[in-house]
Amino acid sequence: MFRKNADSPQFALPPHLWRIRPIQLMVVDLGDWLIPFVGINLLWVASCLTVILLPPATAALFAAAHLSFQNHPPTAGQFLASMRRWFVTSWLITFANVLIIGGLFLLGRLVYASEILLAAIAVLTAGIIWIQFLFWPFMLLQAKPSPIQAIRNSAFTIMGDLPYFAGYLALIILILLTSAILIAPVFFVTPVLFALINTYSLCVWLQHRGILNTEKRDV
- Secondary structure of 65-124 in the HEC alphabet? HHHHHCCCCCCHHHHHHHHHHHHHHHHHHHHHHHHHHHHHHHHHHHCCCCHHHHHHHHHH
Distance CA 189, CA 36 (A): 11
What pTM value is reported for the model? 0.91
Residue 8 lies in a domain: no
Q: Is residue 3 part of a domain?
A: no
Say what the pLDDT of residue 1 is: 46
Residue 215 lies in a domain: no
Alpha-carbon distance of 167 to 157, in angstroms, equals: 14
Domain assignment present for 71: yes
**In what helix (H) or strand (E) does residue 177 lie, and over which residues does it extend?**
helix 162-182
Q: What are phi and psi of 183, to 5 degrees?
A: 70, -55
Domains of the chain: total: 1
DSSP count for the chain of H helices, then E strands: 9, 0
Residues in the chain with pLDDT values less than 50: 1-2, 4-9
pLDDT digits (tens, 9 = 90+) for 171-217: 999 999 999 999 898 899 999 999 999 999 999 999 999 998 877 77
Q: What is the pLDDT of residue 10?
A: 56
pLDDT of residue 42: 97
Spatial separation of the C-alpha atoms in residues 216 and 192, rounded to whole Å? 22
Range of the domain at 190: 24-208
